[in-house]
Chains A and B, each alone.
Chain A
């Protein structure tokens, strides 16, 4: 066990320490790497722009990228949850053999190449593609936030369907039947009987969709064009073309912090949910 743990500490733990350290340094010579003494300039830069005369003015560009990412990730998560819930419940009410087949069918896209799956939407949405053909006129779908969102929902969907399904599978649907017999209407049954049963799966799915979407790179890069820059693209730009590793590191650390906050939030919410359940 020791070699494995040490290896992971060296290749997962140590890099995180290094990137935090880099975020508190300055740009290296020729923009490669980092140099110099401790500084918080990179974090200041996330919020303020320094003018020629040295005054700092609020600069919404980077915060805008964060806001756009959170918004797109939230939209993706909501779309996935709304779509996955009926499918998971439907899957759970099939015969055991059909269920196994459906789980396999949902798993296949999940194991196929992410780059290829994202690229598929470039083919579909571009102005010469099948969607434009169908509509008879190109409507400029590709390179929009919409295209990014579609790509994110597409690659994330199995991450929502599978956990929700694993909760729904354990649910005894005779309870729903009992609720009907007691006179509950369909929506009431869904809201008061089925939903609480699949809630743990939904919470897990939300975490599994929201966090990767927040740090997405390929979907905004290939489908969003320049118009829907997300945190992942900002980090890549700073480490690549802009050659500002400290700023890129600071953005990565901010993303890391957002991720941990999200995880903590859901852990707390989950615990509170458990307490509520035990009180009942």
Chain B
């Protein structure tokens, strides 16, 4: 193990920065570029003044305003409800697809993957207006149901990725062994497949949850006037003007994303 690590270190250390000094500079600048805008939003969230972009002093009162705002609380509840249902449903569907795919022949597998992968490849705006057009065509009223259905659809591919990867790493013979020992298919699934699949399922669920919370465009089209998720609410705030409340709300959202990511990171590490 140690020897392997040493060899790895040698492999990477020899071509070092004396060869490409500019590469390190570019990388550090890019990391700054990736994080500075987020820090700017967080910093301005603590600004006293009414005008979002002129610094007048440190204050926490915008956070108080955000937490006290009933509309924001409603939007948060809506977002969490949609994300929770979309996560559970998309994970269940993704497990089914992943297990089914393994049993299919190549062409059939390609066809299913084409359908399951489409939301990842197509421009979101196309999927958004297409889904709206279909709901209009079928006279499905726009609201919680339409939003949740649309979210499940674009969450499935994200949930599918880690679940499929996990399934590919598993030794398929354990299923046969369980069946040979007399377990019914349901028992094999519940006692063998699912526990082994668990890390992939957790990763898939976290991905689906974040992707659902993040979505603006598809929700924007299929939500109808009564259903406001958090991104839709923020977009509405931005149309009125940049206020420090937007910064405070954005900061809270960034914090939540970080917490979910940290949970995912540590969950992954604990399993080794």
Contact = CB atoms under 8 A, between A and B. Distances in A.
A189 B127 CA distance: 43
Contacts of B186: none
Nearest to B41: A120
B8 interface: yes
B234 A119 contact: yes
A69 B260 CA distance: 34
B247 interface: yes
Contacts of A15: 127, 130-131, 133-134
A87 B261 CA distance: 23
Interface stretch (A38-46, A49-57, A59-67, A215-223): A215-223
Interface in A80-95: 83, 86-87, 89-95
A212 B123 contact: yes
Contact of A12 (B27, B99, B119, B253): B119
Task: Give chain B's interface residue range (CB within 8 Å of chain A).
Answer: 35 or more
A4 B34 contact: no
A201 to B, nearest CB: 16
Contacts of A7: 93, 152-153, 156
Contacts of A1: 96-97, 99-101, 103-104, 112
B133 A117 contact: no
A113 B20 contact: no
A129 B38 CA distance: 14
A19 B93 CA distance: 25
B181 interface: no
Interface string B33-59: 111011011001000000111100000
Contacts of B11: 172-174
Contact of A121 (B37, B210, B258): B37
Contact of B125 (A14, A107, A126, A215): A215
Contacts of A215: 123-126
A109 B125 CA distance: 22
Chain A interface helix/strand/loop/mixed? helix
A11 B123 contact: no
B96 A86 contact: no
B203 interface: no
Contacts of B253: 112-113, 116
Given A8-B153, A235-B125, A86 B23 contact: yes
B123 to A, nearest CB: 3
Interface residues of A, number: 85
A116 B234 contact: yes
B242 interface: yes
Nearest to B94: A4
Interface in A113-158: 113-117, 119-124, 126, 128-130, 154, 157-158
Nearest to B15: A173
B70 interface: no
Given A7-B152, A89-B23, A157-B30, A14 B96 contact: no
Contact of A108 (B137, B150, B221, B258): B258
A124 to B, nearest CB: 6
Interface in B220-272: 221, 231, 234-235, 238, 242, 246-247, 250, 253-254, 257-258, 260-261, 265
Contacts of A214: 123
B36 to A, nearest CB: 8
Contacts of B17: 90
Interface of B: 5, 8-9, 11-17, 19-20, 22-24, 26-27, 30-31, 33-35, 37-38, 40-41, 44, 51-54, 93-94, 96-97, 99-101, 103-104, 112, 115-116, 118-119, 121-127, 129-134, 136-137, 149-150, 152-153, 156, 210, 213-214, 216-217, 221, 231, 234-235, 238, 242, 246-247, 250, 253-254, 257-258, 260-261, 265
6 contacts: A18-B134, A87-B30, A113-B214, A180-B19, A189-B19, A252-B129
Given A96-B8, A115-B216, A120-B40, 16 more contacts: A5-B116, A8-B156, A11-B150, A11-B152, A12-B127, A86-B23, A90-B26, A105-B34, A111-B261, A116-B254, A126-B242, A128-B53, A176-B15, A186-B20, A245-B133, A252-B130
